[in-house]
Amino acid sequence: MPHSIKVKIYYEDTDAGGVVYYANYLRYMERARTEFLAEYGINVADYHDQGSFFVVTHVDIMYKRPARLGEIIDVTTEVQDMRNASMTIRNRILKEDALLVEALLTFACIDKEGRPRRLPDSFGPLKPVPEKQ
């Protein structure tokens, strides 16, 4: 089951037409991913202090419908794939049951020199969601 957070759309999130500026969806996904990891006891700041960094290496995003000023949206997060040093997350942004934005986002674990580092053992309980047949 995907993890979900609610986000209210403020004036600062929108363009002159009251529509969410496209890049802000990535901010919502970042928040959702951080909360998703925290739900599993993974504090990104702690790993940062220990020399492990999580960097986005790829984003594939599809904008289907806009979110607008004053609306409340749901941002869902689920693991799509997990490798030794990287993980792919599926984010979906919905208003009620309408899909607004869908993205696959891959992030990698690196050390302070930028070299790949194995994902920490605490990521073990994060399991990819099986593909629907």
**DSSP summary character for residue 64:** -
> What confidence score (pLDDT) does residue 133 get?
54
Query: Domain total for the chain?
Result: 1
Indicate whether 96 pLDDT > 60. Answer: yes
pLDDT bucket at 74, cuts 50 / 70 / 90: very high
Q: Can you tell me the mean pLDDT for 97-123?
A: 96
**Residue 55 covered by a domain:** yes
> What confidence score (pLDDT) does residue 127 get?
78
* Structure token pair of residue 65: 């419908």
Q: Can you tell me the mean pLDDT for 59-76?
A: 98
13 is catalytic: no
**Residue 61 covered by a domain:** yes
> What confidence score (pLDDT) does residue 88 get?
97
**Residue 44 covered by a domain:** yes
Which residues form the domain of 13? 3-122
Q: Terminal CA-to-CA distance of the chain, rounded, Å?
A: 16
**Residue 31 covered by a domain:** yes
DSSP letter for each residue of the chain: --EEEEEEPPGGGB-TTSBBPTTHHHHHHHHHHHHHHHHTT--HHHHHHTT-EEEEEEEEEEE-S--BTT-EEEEEEEEEEE-SSEEEEEEEEEETTEEEEEEEEEEEEE-TTS-B-PPPGGGTT--PPPPP-
Annotated catalytic residue within 15, 46, 60, 111: 15
